[in-house]
Amino acid sequence: MTDKTVRVIADENGNVIRQSKNPDFGYVVVKQERIVHKRGWINSRERTALIKGTIDLLKKQKYRKNGLIEGNIVTYETTEPLDRRNPEYGLKYAGDTGIVCCTADGEAIYRETYYDITGQDSDTLVAHANGAEISAANRSSMQTEEANEEVENKFADMNEEETPELTDELMEQGEKIALAQDDDSEDQEELEEEIEEEEEFEL
């Protein structure tokens, strides 16, 4: 699958059209692998979007499981809320740091993807300016992972017949790791729920 072609994705039960909260409306999930060029580097990115409409109209399109349709999935970024009823919807997070990407003026950046049947639309991107904060969060995450590995190695090196002596330092490291893991888990859940939030739209 390349640019100008997207794939129709069915749910776990093989349904191509999924119903929204309003039974008259639904959506189809499409996915595309896009080739991205940035500062001399070429990379592959997988994008997902929703095609929304009435159930009847979606059925007339005769979308098939894993079927290919022409068009592109486009990324759109803005500093305007995507849903004024829910100002947190669509916030752009820096990876799994939990930090919202912001402009130099401190405005939050919102992000969404959409299906463009013409294949002519271009990505609209907003540059973030809080890179230092994001880098610090990434360093902290790496240090947590290293500390976690260090504690695991200390326990692994102990003889199974010996009762490990939990020093204050070791206990403190363990508590910090447990707290960090809880935070990471919440961030991961938020990322995993992002597509679910999109799927719960109401027309």
Residue 24 lies in a domain: yes
Is residue 137 scored above 50 in pLDDT? Answer: yes
Q: What is the pTM of this model?
A: 0.62
Residue 83 lies in a domain: no
Residue 113 lies in a domain: no
pLDDT tens digits along 167-180? 555 555 555 544 44
| Contact partners, residue 30, CB within 8 Å, separation at least 6 | 6, 7, 8, 9, 48, 49, 50, 51, 69, 73, 115
Are the C-beta atoms of residues 50 and 112 closer than 8 Å to each other? Answer: no
CA gap 201, 140 in Å, rounded:
35
Nearest to 193 by CA among 62, 91, 40, 84: 91
Residue 53 lies in a domain: yes
Domain boundary among 19, 54, 70: 70
pLDDT tens digits along 159-168? 544 444 545 5
- Higher model confidence: residue 147 or residue 115? 115
What is the domain count for the chain? 2
Domain boundary among 70, 98, 123: 70
Residue 161's domain comprises 132-185
pLDDT tens digits along 66-122? 999 999 999 999 999 999 899 899 999 887 778 889 998 889 999 999 999 999 999
| Coil, helix or strand at residue 180 | helix
CA gap 203, 27 in Å, rounded:
11
